[in-house]
Structure 1
């Protein structure tokens, strides 16, 4: 996902990085998961306001749009964001939000959290992989699974046998 006016997002820049063996640093699934979270976040109208509010009453002002004033699309997107962040867990949810939704770069995340240099790259990748697992869980095992042991079914021929 590209930001306004052709700027690259931190997610786009991280996706261009290569691992030591030359493979992409982020999997396609992790990149898509980060984009999906950002799209849902924007669709949910969760971005804080930057400008002053001209609404006359304090009760109607809020950091986010009031649920009664939101469309069904925004409400559904807000639920998807909440489910995704819950699936990622409290340890990684704020990192995913900062990186994917608030467009904070790796250096800014490290500086704000007072982390060592280059540590945010690994934490962001971990958060994105957890998001990818939430959005595309591993396929369920298919096929018929039986619960009975060998010989648990009665023999039909035994009912018709003559004594």
Structure 2
């Protein structure tokens, strides 16, 4: 009986190992984005990696990633309901750039309306499908801008434009 347990455990180990190897093989065959579309995060280039054993840093300056609306992340989720049962939603705009500020953030917000009063310095509807975040001011990395609004349904919000020229 003990031999049977050892054999079944060994068989299970072999099966799990084969599945992991197969999954790794499939993952390595997934298409990769073109090299010119990858974000450069460190001052490491491919030639310095191959020339000195893979751990060296180049002396060239870091390339700053291009400023775009993609540097902002919009999160929206349910919040505790208002008095009377009106659904409430919490929205947060986060600058995901590590070392740059983003400003003049405009959001495609449809016909946004709220039953709650929202601080216009945080979020304000300027026109149909155009809302301004943080009064157009700077959103620093790791300092998100957030607010809550009340309505019977959540409004889809996507960043329409942003600027990194915040001086």
More strand by share: 2
TM-score range, shorter chain: under 0.3
Higher share in helix: 1
Q: What TM-score results when the alignment is normalised by the length of structure 1? A: 0.22
TM-score, length basis structure 2:
0.22
